[in-house]
Amino acid sequence: MSESEPIASTSAKPGSEPVAIYNEQVLSDVASLPALPGVYRYFDAQGNVLYVGKAINLKRRVSSYFTKNHGGTRIGHMVSKIARLETTVVRSEAEALLLENNLIKTLNPKYNILFRDDKSYPYLKISAAAPLPADSNRIAANPLLTGSTGKNDQQVVCSKVNGEWFPRVSYYRGAVEKKHHYFGPYPSAWAVKEAILLMQKVFRLRTCEDSVFANRTRPCLLYQIKRCSGPCVGHISATDYAQDLADTERFLNGDAREVMAELEARMMAHADKLEFEQAAELRNQVAALSNVLHQQSVDNVSDRDVDILAVKVQGGRACVNLAMVRGGRHLGDRPYFPVHVEDAADLDDADGAEVVRSVEMQVLDAFIAQHYLNVPAPPSLVVSVPVDKGLLVALSEQTGVKVGAVHNPREQRRVWLEMAQTNAGLQLARLLAEEGSQQARTRALVDALDLALDNLDELRVECFDISHTSGEVTQASCVVFHHHKMQSAEYRRFKINDITPGDDYAAMRQVLLRRYGKLAETLQEAKRSGELPTGTGRLPDLVLVDGGKGQVSMAREVFEQLGLDLSLIVGVEKGEGRRIGLEELVFADGREKVYLGKDSAALMLVAQIRDEAHRFAITGMRAARAKVRMDGGKLEEIPGIGPKRRARLLQRFGGVRGVALASEADIAQVEGISHDLAQDIYRALH
């Protein structure tokens, strides 16, 4: 046994509980730790990170793991694996908390509460506005227009189109730029699109791309249905549009009542001046805004930006429901489901702290610490359980804004929290029902195929499918089922080369060799040497191939060549008439075909994995095919081919592929294409 591995034996006096013995290096490192705040990390003998934690006193906290007897608990199981530890000393508990959660998100330790990094939050974006010229009251957007067509009777034609005078409202996800205005974040893309629709109804801002805006000569359908004021064709002046834009931003910032009052005042002022057309437009805006406020149930609350966090723990799983209030409006919510909840719950109490925090508190603390590392925290949080005060201090230091948390809210906050708690319970119940169904399918498949598996959670299935269009752009897909669900991060696509187009058997042979060739060599070398190299992958418990006897025979040849177990290979053969539910399983080791029955839970799981492999393969193939057909020729990169000539070529031959199939003489017949240029095009495409 190497020095870095923990010693598994125990010593005990008669009648006493056994105490684990650890290697001297680990105990020596623990004894030399300082009594300062910091972050500690535990590693196993293979170098995998087990746990990341923070401490006000590193020496006292880390020592508690090795001076107590943890028996057969989860914490005892984890401590028995510790072969090495690392620590980082920081200046304060707040710094320790931030560093701890940065490391958790980076290292994904096995025994910490982990929240999956989701996609970035979407925002509502208003593009930057260019400075208006001195005569902005007289600017119309389109130079083709003449006469008075907008709110301002003095409006005339401008000499140059500038879409930046009329900023665009749009959906946005990604890194923000300071010059633009962003509102949010919103919990979902649906919430952003609803907000954009609202802006169109009330303030009639444009949503079209700048290229579309610059080339409009007549108003689009959105103008006809009163969802846009038509700045592209001069139906509103830049000054009036700027006023609508300012009202929009104030509304999104929570000043809805003030905007309403100002619109009413402007409406009455126009009416007093007998400007009834302008007054009617403002009246319509007031009516639309009033209707929106009624539908959105916007209350005049003091909190404009609030996050409501409700946590629910049940059946070994947890759900944190995050609801967002921005500008005083409830925008919707999003559920988060952490992993390793039970493990971390035991570990966080390892030092015997006097204040014992419940599992719900620990889950919520972990969510807040990890979630707000990259997402701006609002000044107010409404929470279903108390939050660690040190955590709030750390967030305040990070954001520069004092962040507070309310545990027992009243009035409108209470309504928001009850709504979030209800949604957390519903989402968790749905997750548990889905997981129960999925686990039942996993068990049914293991039983149906008589797989030698002690732990259902460890069942790993890899499925392969071949996709092409008449031999064009052949691709193979490999999808992975593990821990009762599809693991999309482990999916792989393989570009198949050097085979006869349309030869699915050769494609299957190539993908299996590429997938398992190196692993088979490593495993055979490990058998001879008696040592398995660190980081070596594992063979799946089941290899599914989408096909019948032919594909299974090819897979059997590959596995025989690699020296792998033939019993792993199962083919999914379509039934009579290729009808769903009539599939049969074909085995490579000589067993008879098996029909599980259309209502079989095992067949449902096989079909789920097979269909996912097919979906993944065909989407990749279509993307590659589109690239070859549309971008393979790269007409725009040929010297002498500009937008007009490119458009004429594509129109004449129906696409780049058609141009590539044409002769030099045919290409030269296109308007604007000389004989020499036709030769250049032909050479470039061949």
Tokens of 472: 């064009």
Instruction: Give the separation between CA 65 and CA 456, rounded to whole angstroms.
Output: 30
| CATH number (domain holding residue 43) | 3.40.1440.10
Instruction: Determine the 3-state secondary structure of 87 from DSSP.
Output: strand
**Do residues 51 and 153 both lie within one domain?**
no
What pLDDT shows up at residue 591? 84
Packing angle, helices 189-202 and 238-252, rounded to 10: 140
Give the residues across from 321 on adjacent strands.
Answer: 310, 335
pLDDT, residue 384, reads 93
Q: 263 pLDDT band (50/70/90 cuts)?
A: confident
- Higher-scoring residue by pLDDT: 323, 257: 323
**Same-domain status, 534 and 401:** no
Pull the structure tokens for residue 178.
């300071």
For residues 229-247, average pLDDT: 85
pLDDT of residue 8: 38
Segment 480-519, tens digit of pLDDT:
999 888 998 899 999 888 888 788 899 999 999 999 998 8
Q: Same domain, yes or no, for 644 and 622?
A: no
Percentage, residues of the chain above pLDDT 70: 81
Is residue 229 over pLDDT 70? yes
Between helices 389-399 and 93-107, what is the axis angle to 10°? 80
pTM over 0.75: no
Q: CATH number of the domain that 670 lies in?
A: 1.10.150.20
Give the gyration radius of the chain's Cα atoms. Answer: 33
pLDDT grade, residue 96 (50/70/90)?
A: confident
Q: Report the C-alpha gap between 81 and 640 in whole angstroms.
A: 67
Helices (H) then strands (E): counts for the chain: 21, 22
Residue 449 lies in a domain: no
Residues whose CB is less than 8 angstroms from the CB of residue 639 and which lie 6 or more positions away in sequence, other chains included: 680
Which amino acid, residue 411?
A: E
**Domain with 417 in it: what CATH number?**
3.30.420
Distance CA 644, CA 664 (A): 19
* Domain-located, residue 229: yes
d(CA 41, CA 83) in angstroms, rounded, equals 11
- 395/650 Cα distance (integer angstroms): 56
Using the predicted structure, report yes or no on whether residue 525 has a pLDDT greater than 90.
no
Both structure tokens of 618? 């065909």
Residue 568 shares a structural domain with residue 477? yes
Distances (CA, A) of 440 to 144, 346, 434, 551, 580: 68, 28, 10, 29, 21
What is the phi-psi region of residue 583: left when phi exceeds 0, alpha when psi lies from -120 to 50, beta otherwise?
beta
Domain span holding position 565: 456-628
CA distance 593 to 627: 40
Q: pLDDT band at residue 288, thresholds of 50, 70 and 90? A: low
> Is 274 domain-assigned?
no
Q: What are phi and psi of 292, to 5 degrees?
A: -65, -45
Let me know: does 563 contact 524? Beta carbons within 8 Å.
Answer: yes
Predicted local confidence at residue 237, as pLDDT: 83
DSSP for 95-146 reads: HHHHHHHHHHHHH--TTS-B----PPPPEEEEPPPPPPPTTGGGEES-TT--
CATH number of domain containing 557:
3.30.420.340
Q: What SS3 class is residue 326?
A: strand
Is residue 368 pLDDT above 80, yes or no? Answer: yes
Same domain for 581 and 467: yes
CB atoms within 10 A of CB 471: 13
pLDDT at 241 (0 to 100): 87
Burial of 219 (0-12, 13-18, 19+ CB in 10 A): middle
Distance, CA of 46 to CA of 4 (rounded, Å): 10
pLDDT at 344: 56
pLDDT of residue 2: 38
CB 40 within 8 A of CB 53: yes
Query: Rounded CA gap, 192 and 197, in Å?
Result: 9
624 and 645 both lie in a single domain: no
Look at residues 92, 114, 145 and tell me which one is the last residue of a structural domain: 92
Count other Cβ atoms within 10 Å, centred on residue 18: 12
Q: Identify which of 70-79, 340-349, 655-664 has the greatest average pLDDT.
A: 655-664
310 shares its domain with 393: yes
The CA distance from 229 to 243, in Å, is 12
Summarize the confidence of residues 659-683 as an average pLDDT: 85
Q: Tell me what the mean pLDDT of segment 336-360 comes to.
A: 64
Q: Is residue 359 part of a domain?
A: yes
Cβ atoms of 318 and 341 closer than 8 Å: yes
| pLDDT number for residue 578 | 65
Q: Which residue would you say has higher pLDDT here, 16 or 210?
A: 210
Last residue of a domain, one of 92, 110, 135: 92
- Alpha-carbon span 196 to 199, nearest angstrom: 5
- For residue 184, being part of any structural domain is answered with yes
Mean pLDDT of 34-57: 88
Which of 74-78, 512-516, 627-631, 639-643 is the most confident on average? 512-516
Same domain, 244 and 156: yes
Q: How far apart are CA 309 and CA 423, in angstroms?
A: 11
How confident is the model over 473-479, as a mean pLDDT? 88
Residue 9: is its pLDDT beyond 60? no
Residue pair 350/64 in contact by the 8 Å Cβ criterion: yes
* Residue 479 banded pLDDT, cuts 50, 70, 90: very high
Residue 234 sits in the same domain as residue 346? no
pLDDT of residue 297 exceeding 60:
no
What pLDDT is recorded for position 683?
81
Lowest mean pLDDT: which of 108-117, 150-159, 395-404, 427-436?
150-159
- Largest interatomic CA distance in the chain: 104
- pLDDT tens column, 399-426: 778 888 998 888 888 888 998 999 999 9
Is cis: bond before 378, omega within 30 of 0? no
Tell me the torsion sign for CA atoms 130, 133, 134, 138: negative
619 plus 500 within the same structural domain = yes
* Model confidence pLDDT, tens digit, residues 274-284: 877 777 777 77
Return d(Cα 361, Cα 388) in angstroms, integer: 8
Cα distances from 193 to residues 126, 186, 640, in angstroms, run 13, 10, 42
- Looking at the domain assignment, is residue 1 inside a domain? no
Per-residue pLDDT, 144: 41
Average pLDDT over residues 165-169: 87
- In total, how many domains does the chain have? 5
- Residue 379 maps to a domain: yes
Rounded to 5°, the CA angle 677-681-684 comes to 135
Q: Please indicate, yes or no, if residue 316 is contained in any of the structural domains.
A: yes
Mean pLDDT score of the chain: 79
Contacts within 8 Å (CB) and 24+ apart, 14-19: 17/69, 17/71, 18/69, 19/69
Q: What is the pLDDT of residues 559-588, one digit of tens each?
A: 999 988 888 899 988 877 667 777 888 898
Task: Kindly state the average pLDDT of the residues 41-68.
Answer: 86
Same domain, 382 and 402: yes
- 349-378: string of b/e by CB count within 10 Å (b at 16+)? ebbeeeeebebbbbbbbbbbbbbbeeeebb
- Residue 498 shares a structural domain with residue 515: yes
Residue 298's pLDDT band, with cuts at 50, 70 and 90, is very low
